[in-house]
Amino acid sequence: MKINKHAGKKQAWHFMPEEKDYFIEKLTDELPVLRSTVNITQEDLAEAVGISRQTYNAIEGGKRKMSWNTYLALLMFFDYNPRTHIMIRRLEIFPEIMELQQSEL
C-alpha cells in the first residue's frame, strides 16, 4: 500500500490488488460472526450497504467475491457499530493505515 500526499489536500491511500484481496477474504470469512454480533439479518445488512440480499448471501456463503466498494461499505457499517468497532481491528479486517488517517481528521 502506498500513501499519496497532495499539497493542500488530505492524504489518500491506495491498496495493491493483492492487499485488497487479503482484506476482502478476511472480512468474508468473518461476515457470519460480525453479522450475528450486531444481530442483523442478511436482508437488512444488504440493504444497509446497497446490495441485494441474494448478492450478500452469495458473498457470505463464499460463492461470490465482494467488490472493493462492498468491502468498504461493510467495513464502515461494522466500524460504526459499537459492538463490532473493536472486533474488526482485532480480526485485522480494518486496515491500520485507515485507522491512522481517521485519527488525523
Domain range enclosing 83: 27-104
CATH number at residue 78: 1.10.260.40
Q: Are 97 and 52 in contact (CB under 8 A)?
A: no
Number of domains, the chain: 1
Q: Is residue 15 part of a domain?
A: no
Interval 65-71 mean pLDDT: 97
* CA pair distance 62, 53, nearest whole angstrom: 14
- pLDDT band for 12, please (50, 70, 90 cuts): low
The percentage of the chain sitting over the pLDDT mark of 90, rounded to a whole number, equals 73
Handedness of CA 59, 25, 36, 75 (dihedral sign): negative
Determine, yes or no, domain membership for 13.
Answer: no
Asked, for residue 20, whether it belongs to a domain, the answer is no
pTM: 0.83
Q: Is pLDDT at 40 greater than 50 in this prediction?
A: yes
Asked, for residue 11, whether it belongs to a domain, the answer is: no
Is 70 within the bounds of a domain?
yes
Task: Report the half-sphere exposure of 1 (CA within 13 A, side-chain side).
Answer: 15
Quick check: 3 pLDDT over 50? no
C-alpha–C-alpha distance, residues 72 and 102, integer Å: 14
